[in-house]
């Protein structure tokens, strides 16, 4: 099985850090041109600079539909279209329902669930053009194993937003299938990134590792590998579906080894 993306144009939201940065690097290493889109302008610039000529950084807030349209139109103009959208940007806040307010709920849902919708909606004309040119367009939404369980680290808003991505993916896959556009979800389990570091002590990291049957945290590059498979021609008949990349954490149901 050979995966390569020469001549393909890819957009990765949240590309300035963690899973998104690993994904942007991996696509570029296999020949794609990559848009590194992030709220954190410096993070996006750093990743794009590291990748080199194949990448461009764009600062945007995925919750802002107008900004998303402008960013994806610009990217498609510069990169000669858009074939793959990876909606990966997300935020997690650690609180209980007693500690959060309506504005917290609104911000997490706007980023984690409305964001992927705005990106998909804005990308549609480009993805349709990609399909018509026979370039096999795909949308990969990054949810979480939380979508099938509950968040141990985040709040109710995180669980609800990630669960919503599964519905978004299913519906979009159904509606866009006849147009030749595939839409899938990757559900990461505990993955070592800054999002996790911000909410954990060494002790909690070790305790979580004991609940992962494969015995360790997932590396961002291991999520990127599955995203690249989904984007490739080898996944040509995968749509509306989800792969968990979690070392088995979902099946262990919190039971430690
Ligand atoms: P991260 O914090 O390292 O990266 C997230 C990136 O998204 C950051 O660069 C951030 O600036 C960007 N971002 C946040 N809000 C944004 C917005 N409104 N617009 C544009 N960009 C925005 O986190 P990560 O662990 O790499 O997470 C990537 C995705 O994977 C997230 O959707 C997260 O929910 C999901 N996920 C992570 C884990 C984990 O254990 N790390 C587990 C399951 C799912």
Tens-digit pLDDT profile for residues 2-36: 999 999 999 999 999 999 999 999 999 999 999 99
Please write the tens of the pLDDT for every residue from 41-93.
999 999 999 999 999 999 999 999 999 999 999 999 999 999 999 999 999 99
pLDDT higher than threshold 80 for residue 212: yes
Confidence class of residue 255 from pLDDT cuts 50, 70 and 90? confident
Q: What's the rounded Cα separation, in Å, for the pair 30 and 137? A: 16
Our answer on whether the CB atom of 14 is closer than 6 Å to any ligand 1 atom is: yes
CA–centroid distance, 150 to ligand 1, in Å, is: 17
> Sign of the C-alpha dihedral, residues 232, 234, 238, 243?
negative
**What integer is the mean pLDDT of 188-194?**
94
CA–centroid distance, 127 to ligand 1, in Å, is: 24
Q: What's the rounded Cα separation, in Å, for the pair 63 and 66? A: 9
Please write the tens of the pLDDT for every residue from 134-169.
999 999 999 999 999 998 889 999 999 999 999 999
pTM of the model: 0.98
Q: Can you read off the two tokens belonging to residue 228?
A: 């690249």
Mean pLDDT computed over every residue of the chain? 96
Please write the tens of the pLDDT for every residue from 91-125.
999 999 999 999 999 999 999 999 999 999 999 99
Considering the chain, what percentage of its residues have pLDDT values greater than 70? 100
Our answer on whether the CB atom of 43 is closer than 6 Å to any ligand 1 atom is: yes
Our answer on whether the CB atom of 191 is closer than 6 Å to any ligand 1 atom is: yes
Burial bucket for residue 25 (CB in 10 Å: 0-12, 13-18, 19+): buried
3-state secondary structure (DSSP) of residue 51: helix
Confidence class of residue 200 from pLDDT cuts 50, 70 and 90? confident
């Amino acid at each position: 099985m050979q995966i390569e993306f020469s001549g393909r144009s890819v957009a990765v939201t949240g590309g300035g850090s963690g899973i998104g940065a690993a994904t942007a690097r991996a696509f570029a290493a296999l020949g794609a041109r990559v848009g590194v889109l992030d709220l954190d302008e410096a993070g996006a610039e750093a990743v794009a600079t590291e990748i080199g000529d194949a990448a461009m950084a764009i600062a945007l807030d995925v919750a802002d539909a107008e900004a998303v349209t402008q960013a994806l139109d610009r990217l498609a103009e510069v990169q000669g279209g858009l074939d793959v959208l990876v909606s990966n940007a997300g935020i997690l806040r650690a609180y209980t329902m007693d500690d959060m307010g309506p504005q917290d709920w609104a911000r997490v849902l706007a980023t984690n669930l409305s964001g992927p919708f705005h990106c998909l909606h804005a990308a549609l004309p480009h993805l349709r053009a990609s399909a018509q040119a026979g370039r096999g367009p795909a949308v990969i939404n990054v949810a979480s194993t939380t979508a099938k369980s509950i968040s141990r680290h985040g709040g109710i808003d995180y669980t609800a937003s990630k669960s919503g991505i599964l519905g978004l993916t299913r519906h979009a896959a159904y509606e866009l299938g006849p147009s030749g556009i595939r839409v899938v979800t990757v559900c990461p389990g505990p993955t070592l990134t800054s999002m996790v570091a911000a909410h954990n002590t060494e002790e909690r990291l070790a305790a979580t590792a004991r609940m992962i049957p494969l015995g360790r945290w997932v590396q961002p590059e291991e999520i990127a590998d599955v995203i690249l498979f989904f984007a490739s021609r080898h996944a040509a008949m995968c749509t509306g579906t989800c792969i968990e990349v979690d070392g088995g954490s979902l099946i262990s149901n919190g039971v430690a080894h």
